[in-house]
Amino acid sequence: MIKTTDGLNLDTKPLWALQQRYKEAWDAHDMELLGSVFTADADWIDRAGIWMRGPRAITDGHAIVHQSIYRKSVITLTDADFRQLSPEVAVGISRWHVDGEVDQNGAPQPTRHGIFTQVFVLRDGRWLINATQSTLTPIEAGGPDNSHAVF
């Protein structure tokens, strides 16, 4: 479900399309495509609290886990809610879940669930992601197995 709660008549299609491009990159484990959804000054804080600054750091951080525990994973994004803060800035909150994670020994892991909070900015006529906070949902937060992964 996609919705908007602003009063500025935000067209959510470009924002949802951007999130779907991120999903496409994740599922294909394509770090070049993944980097293309971010601004040059983007920030990403992963579920373990690691702060990555800039698309190179974001893609490098993702590449490490996509070569190991997420090498067979796919991500699903749902329940997106977008709010436009100005003509060039919007905030999005969406739920995600990742299937196909394995541990360091290759054993299948349970589906992970979480929430993204993202800042989208309109630059040169196109929306890009400027900041992301990835958080595990409360049901999973705090487990000993949550400290090993970055995404």
Q: What mean pLDDT do residues 99-127 have? A: 95
What pLDDT, on a 0 to 100 scale, did the predictor assign at position 4? 53
d(CA 112, CA 99): 7
Q: What is the CATH number of domain 2-127?
A: 3.10.450.50
The strand pair at 126-136 and 38-45 is best described as parallel
d(CA 121, CA 17): 14
Which is more confident, 13 or 150?
13
d(CA 137, CA 26): 20
| Rounded percentage of the chain residues whose pLDDT exceeds 70 | 85
Q: Is the pLDDT confidence value at 92 over 70?
A: yes
Q: Is the pLDDT confidence value at 58 over 80?
A: yes
Domain residue limits, the chain:
2-127
What tokens does 85 get?
A: 């803060």
Among 6-10, 39-43, 135-139, 146-150, whose mean pLDDT is lowest? 146-150
Rg from Cα positions in the chain: 15
Q: What mean pLDDT do residues 15-33 have? A: 95
pTM to 2 decimals?
A: 0.84
What pLDDT, on a 0 to 100 scale, did the predictor assign at position 44? 97
